[in-house]
């Protein structure tokens, strides 16, 4: 029988790894580490660093190549096919390494419940996992800028760059947190009266922050984001908009 742990490990700072996460890592018979290609090799390196710091036996750590999502068709169908392929990779690695069963762990950026798909992928294998919560990029963003997420008694909408770009500002909210933006969805928002707090590589050594009136800093964020992506080969960023 296979038991599965999904372990939130924060946003790239090894100090984000909680005591509960360390305990779950040490209890695992197998830890699966995805490789996302050479251009994102430092993400795999960070996972390896976390494992090496907290495990005495690295032989339990097995890496696999993460399938690439086909973006040529519809978004939902493409993501579902991609998740099917990832689930198949998980199963292949588990069957090869733990044929008699055991406890498997995956290290998840941020928290497994917030805009992450590991829970949905686990469901494809018919496994109900144990979830170890982690520090989210959203909480690291607000901490880095020393701001509260919401105004007093006011709601916040958490959405994606694609949804902001296609649907505009969500109704009924003065504050919008935007994740998984392929680039610059904030530039589609009428900027007058809007403040933005933006951060990239949160929790990492090359963390970068910009904040201010959207009308004044939007282009600076776009230029900075493009330069950082060119320098590192990848980028993870998040921002909060408030009007």
Q: Based on the number of CB atoms within 10 Å of its own CB, is 79 exposed (0-12), middle (13-18) or buried (19 or more)?
A: middle
Residues in the chain: 243
Q: Tell me how far apart the alpha carbons of residues 174 and 131 are, in angstroms, rounded to a whole number.
A: 31
pTM for the model stands at: 0.87
Q: Are residues 116 and 183 in the same domain?
A: no
Range of the domain at 223: 138-242
Domain count, the chain: 2
Q: Are residues 131 and 213 in the same domain?
A: no
Structure confidence by residue, pLDDT tens digits, 143-189: 999 999 998 888 999 999 999 999 999 998 999 999 999 889 999 99
Token pair for 199: 């951060």
Q: Are residues 74 and 175 in the same domain?
A: no
Q: Are residues 227 and 196 in the same domain?
A: yes
Q: Are residues 86 and 179 in the same domain?
A: no
Q: Are residues 146 and 177 in the same domain?
A: yes
Look over the chain and give the mean of its residue pLDDT values, rounded to a whole number. Answer: 92
């Amino acid at each position: 029988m296979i038991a599965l742990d999904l372990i939130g490990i924060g946003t790239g700072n090894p100090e984000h790894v909680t005591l509960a996460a360390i305990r779950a890592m040490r209890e695992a018979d197998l830890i699966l580490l995805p490789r996302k290609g050479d251009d994102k090799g430092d993400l795999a390196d960070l996972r390896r660093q976390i494992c090496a710091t907290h495990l005495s036996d690295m032989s339990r750590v097995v890496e696999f190549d993460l399938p690439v999502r086909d973006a040529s068709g519809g978004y939902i169908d493409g993501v579902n096919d991609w998740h099917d392929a990832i689930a198949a990779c998980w199963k292949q690695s588990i069957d090869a390494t733990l044929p008699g069963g055991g406890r498997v762990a995956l290290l998840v950026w941020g928290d497994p419940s917030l805009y992450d798909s590991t829970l949905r992928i686990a469901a494809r294998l018919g496994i109900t996992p144990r979830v170890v919560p982690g520090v989210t990029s959203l909480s690291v963003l607000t901490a880095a800028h020393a701001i509260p997420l919401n105004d007093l008694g006011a709601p916040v909408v958490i959405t994606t760059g694609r949804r902001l770009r296609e649907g505009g500002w969500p109704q009924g909210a003065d504050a919008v947190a935007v994740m998984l933006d392929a680039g610059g969805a904030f530039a589609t928002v009428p900027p007058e009266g809007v403040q933005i707090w933006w951060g990239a590589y949160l929790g990492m050594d090359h963390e970068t922050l910009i904040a201010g009136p959207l009308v004044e800093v939007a282009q600076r964020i776009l230029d900075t984001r493009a330069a950082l992506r060119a320098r590192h080969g990848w980028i993870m960023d998040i921002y909060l908009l408030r009007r």
